[in-house]
Amino acid sequence: MMKHTYIEDIIKHEGKEVTLKGWLYNRRSSGKVRFLVLRDGTGYCQCVAGAADLPPSQFELCEKITQESSLEVRGTVHKDSRAPGGFELILKEIRLIQMAEEYPIQPKEHGVDFLLDNRHLWIRSSRQHAVLKVRDEVIKAIRDFFYDRHFILVDSPIFTPAACEGTSTLFETDYFGSKAYLTQSGQLYQEPACMALGRTYCFGPTFRAEKSKTRRHLTEFWMIEPEVAFADLDDIMELAEDLVIYIVERVLERKGEELKTLERDTKKLELVKKPFPKISYDEAAQMLKSRGIPFEYGNDFGGTDETILSEGFDRPVMIHHYPAAIKAFYMQPDIQNPDKVLCVDVIAPEGYGEIIGGSQRIHDHDLLLKKIQEYNLPAEAFQWYLDIRKYGSVPHSGFGMGIERVIAWITGVSHLREAIPFPRTLNRIYP
């Protein structure tokens, strides 16, 4: 293949000849000149075709070429403040690679189902580029954050023998004649990992058979899960706060163009600074009550409750000490008040809901066994997990952050389905 230039680099080639390869974004004519806007994933470049500069057949092609046709063009880079990006290409040669059929996505309003059916094409649009580039930055920021703090990445498995986050959202699969489940969380494997390496994390896809159809739920989503030996609830609350701030600052610093494309109000993101407000479950329940919300004490907060709670704050709010009865089996009870557990949920501003759930874990063998039995979980499948409490058990804590919720919040897209390249939801497994 001939070497070519990516559009993001043409600034380095002013006055020189380059070859670009990409797809036709749009075209227009003005008198004897034809303008082709080419996109290649790194940017958009206006290409100018003059009748005198091109063989007639190539000039005619400029009239016929369809949206999203693939092509290779050669020309001279010319500075022009009117061109998007500040540079244009004066064409000397156009080579069509494939003439595209009539492109289904047009610059008009399409229904969201239509766009989702065409997700494989929809990701070519500039808004979707922006979201995907923010996602890439968020993931890189997370990796840098943990690497710089000397956490070791330890991948958790996807096939698992048991539930982590309740049995009602398990995807079951046949595993050579016995049952296996797609993982709901990598946490249970980070616990042994942190006993081996001190501070670890995993980052991978997680699965929940969520029967609810909301804008905050996917059936397949990506979670980042740190786990720290000798850490208590306060320690991981601080870690969560630092992580969220790091991600937001990084996206503001490096993805300003993308946030502009998305028309995100970045002033709201600039407010995300330490300290985050921290309130207990009891205080949160009281806040809902004082606002006249019909919330029943002892229940978990629903999506609307979370939105109302977040409205009082300009930054993420951390809610801790939930009733044990509504939380997972592995959470450490509070010694002063054993009905409550040492856990935290972080609720994003602007109604994006819970972005982080974490806790201190039970480190006493017998208490953990009792909880496994109380939750009607199969103790045999948890022998290895109980083992961790037999060989040098220590207090340890961790959390999970669903990255699509964070990306939706930072980009301002209203539904999680736009925060992941190919969303999986209750009613969708295509494309």
The C-alpha atoms of residue 201 and residue 231 are separated, in whole angstroms, by: 14
Quote the least distance from Cβ 156 to ligand 4AD, whole Å: 9
The C-alpha atoms of residue 377 and residue 162 are separated, in whole angstroms, by: 8
Q: How far is CA 322 from CA 260, 293, 340, 357, in A?
A: 38, 19, 5, 11
Of 59 and 221, the one with the shorter C-beta distance to ligand 4AD is 221
The answer to whether 395 and 378 have CB atoms below 8 angstroms apart is no
Report what 399 binds from Mg ion, ligand 4AD, none; CB cut-off 5-8 Å by kind. Answer: ligand 4AD
**3-class DSSP state for residue 141?**
helix
By CB under 5 A, name the binding residues for Mg ion: 357
- DSSP bridge pairs for 74: 19, 93
Of 75 and 400, the one with the shorter C-beta distance to ligand 4AD is 400
Quote the least distance from Cβ 162 to ligand 4AD, whole Å: 13
Helix (H) or strand (E) holding 243: helix 233-254
The answer to whether 416 and 408 have CB atoms below 8 angstroms apart is yes
Quote the least distance from Cβ 397 to Mg ion, whole Å: 15
Of 345 and 418, the one with the shorter C-beta distance to Mg ion is 345
Report what 183 binds from Mg ion, ligand 4AD, none; CB cut-off 5-8 Å by kind. Answer: none
From the CB of residue 136, how many other CB atoms can be counted at a distance below 10 Å? 13
My answer on whether omega of the bond before 423 falls inside 30° of 0, hence cis, is: no
Of 126 and 212, the one with the shorter C-beta distance to ligand 4AD is 212
Of 74 and 143, the one with the shorter C-beta distance to ligand 4AD is 143
Report what 210 binds from Mg ion, ligand 4AD, none; CB cut-off 5-8 Å by kind. Answer: ligand 4AD
Of 295 and 322, the one with the shorter C-beta distance to ligand 4AD is 322
The C-alpha atoms of residue 152 and residue 202 are separated, in whole angstroms, by: 9
Report what 402 binds from Mg ion, ligand 4AD, none; CB cut-off 5-8 Å by kind. Answer: ligand 4AD
Quote the least distance from Cβ 120 to ligand 4AD, whole Å: 22
Largest interatomic CA distance in the chain:
86
- Residue keyed to tokens 């046949």: 174
- Residue keyed to tokens 């701030």: 245
By CB under 6 A, name the binding residues for ligand 4AD: 164-165, 185, 187, 208, 210, 217-218, 221, 223, 225, 354-358, 398-402, 404-405, 416
Of 305 and 354, the one with the shorter C-beta distance to ligand 4AD is 354
Of 69 and 359, the one with the shorter C-beta distance to ligand 4AD is 359
Q: How far is CA 273 from CA 244, 268, 317, in A?
A: 9, 11, 11
Of 69 and 185, the one with the shorter C-beta distance to ligand 4AD is 185
- DSSP bridge pairs for 202: 225
- DSSP bridge pairs for 71: 22, 96
Give me the amino acid identity at 372.
I
Task: Give burial (CB, 10 Å; 0-12/13-18/19+) of 397.
Answer: buried
Quote the least distance from Cβ 116 to ligand 4AD, whole Å: 16
Quote the least distance from Cβ 202 to ligand 4AD, whole Å: 9
Quote the least distance from Cβ 304 to ligand 4AD, whole Å: 17
Quote the least distance from Cβ 65 to ligand 4AD, whole Å: 41
Quote the least distance from Cβ 358 to Mg ion, whole Å: 9
The answer to whether 100 and 68 have CB atoms below 8 angstroms apart is yes
Report what 22 binds from Mg ion, ligand 4AD, none; CB cut-off 5-8 Å by kind. Answer: none
